[in-house]
Amino acid sequence: MSDVNREQVRQIVEAIGGQENIDTATHCVTRLRFVLHDESKVDKKKLESIDLVKGSFSNSGQFQVVIGQGLVDKVYKVLAEETGIQEVSKDDVKNAAAKKMNPLQRLVKLLADIFIPILPAIVTAGLLLGLNNVLTAENLFGPDPLIVTYPQWADIAEVINVIASAAFTFLPALIGWSAVKRFGGNPLMGIVLGLVLVHPALLSAYDYPAALEEGNVPTWNLFGLTVESIGYQGQVLPVLVAAYLYALIEKFLDKRVHDSIKLLVVAPVSILITGFAAFIVIGPLTFAAGTAVTGAVIWMFENLGWLGGFIYGGFYAVLVITGMHHTFLPVDLQLISDQGGTFLWPILALSNIAQGSAAFAIFAATFLMKRKDEKLRGLASSSGISAWLGVTEPALFGVNLRYKFPFICALIGSAIAGTLLGANFVLANSIGVGGVPGIISIQAEFWAIFGIGMAIVIVVPFVLTLLYTMFIKKGELE
């Protein structure tokens, strides 16, 4: 690090309230992460004027300063030298931040901690299912699917489908691993718990409605109770609650069983008790609760789709700021399980594009105003691309919220497009990349409507932001 950069690190410390305002600090791939004693002491204007800083925001009790990949590690080392703070783990920082959260924030953080680790598997599956969608959809490149026009591709499409659908077929195992780990238990047993709930000997949850209608649902007699012998494929709540119970039992036994017999007692007893509880109590209750929630959401979109789309499209980016957007991932997964597609995720994808378009407008405005601000141009262009590829935080916190009006213009565009998608009940087969590439995850019959929605979120936020910049702000971006 050069002397200039070292001085800029000192300026970062001063801008966040000085060394005495830092409780704990660490860093991730792109950001410095602080838990501060008093966030009101942060001088954001001064902070974001520093060349090293690409943006800043507060989320889940942490104040985060965007530096950039590769450089952040060097900056943190100088920060540690200048302040004398010792690096702590991300978990330590999260625990320190959690002390400042209210119950709702803690719930949101809990869901984020469980679902974010499994997102790569879900997004990968969504992309591959999108590719399969392209190969098998009718009236896309002609009246027949590509696998009919080119029969040699049929087996390739089938293999792609097997690979892609695995994450959704065994979704409870993924959630079980992450949830048990989050609750402090053995994550391997979380996988086992998830697999128990989708065991092939059970009636599949996908076949349950038909079996119920025909009156041939298999049952067990357990302790004098008649219990339905069904699996929980695609379900979210049953494995979440069961994972919590398993972790409680495992930790309870681990503290009380002698080390010499732990292997023989702790895991077997924990999984046995949890398994019976899952099939007798947890599964039926949470299955009904999950069905009720998705039923209510589906009813709203079927009867007031335009309103649901307007609200979700108009406020999704606000949820991202608070971190509450993570609470809708389980709903998306439940909708995919219950009805074969989700109408929430397509609106999410358009919201991300809208934020990118607003950032691109700021980029364009710097040229029209002949403003030689290379840092702003670079940040606006790179964050716009990032948002169009599904990652909105750089655009949100580095550009749009910094000037406020681009954020609002993006919300307007997203609300309009969300109204269109909601009114037409546009569905995605799966969760994929929440940006421009997301179109391949949309069910083929809705591609035209989704394409119109994409045009809206590209044009409306860009034009509104540019006009506001040039004629209302009169070129002032301070």
Count of CB atoms situated within 10 Å of the CB of 61? 21
Where are the extended beta strands (E) located within 202-349?
A: 219-222, 225-228
The residue from 7, 18, 28, 455 that is catalytic is: 28
* Distance (Å, whole) CA 434 – CA 175: 21
Q: Residue length, the chain?
A: 478
Helix/strand/coil for 155: helix
Number of H helices and E strands in the chain, helices first, is: 21, 6
Count of CB atoms situated within 10 Å of the CB of 374? 10
Task: Give the CA-trace dihedral at 357, 126, 59, 343, to 10 degrees.
Answer: 70
β-sheet bridge partners, residue 35? 24
Q: Using N-to-C axis directions, what is the helix angle for 283-322 and 237-256, rounded to 10°? A: 100
Parallel, antiparallel, or unpaired for β 219-222 and 55-59? unpaired
End-to-end CA distance of the chain: 29
* Distance (Å, whole) CA 26 – CA 33: 5
Give exposure, 25-37, as e/b (b: 16+ Cβ within 10 Å).
Answer: bbbeebbbbbbbe
Q: Is residue 64 within a helix (H) or strand (E), and if so which, with residue range? A: strand 62-66
Nearby residues of 237 by Cβ (< 8 Å), 6 or more positions away: 286, 287, 289, 290, 330, 334
* Distance (Å, whole) CA 343 – CA 357: 22
**Is 28 among the residues known to form the active site?**
yes
Q: Which residues are catalytic?
A: 28
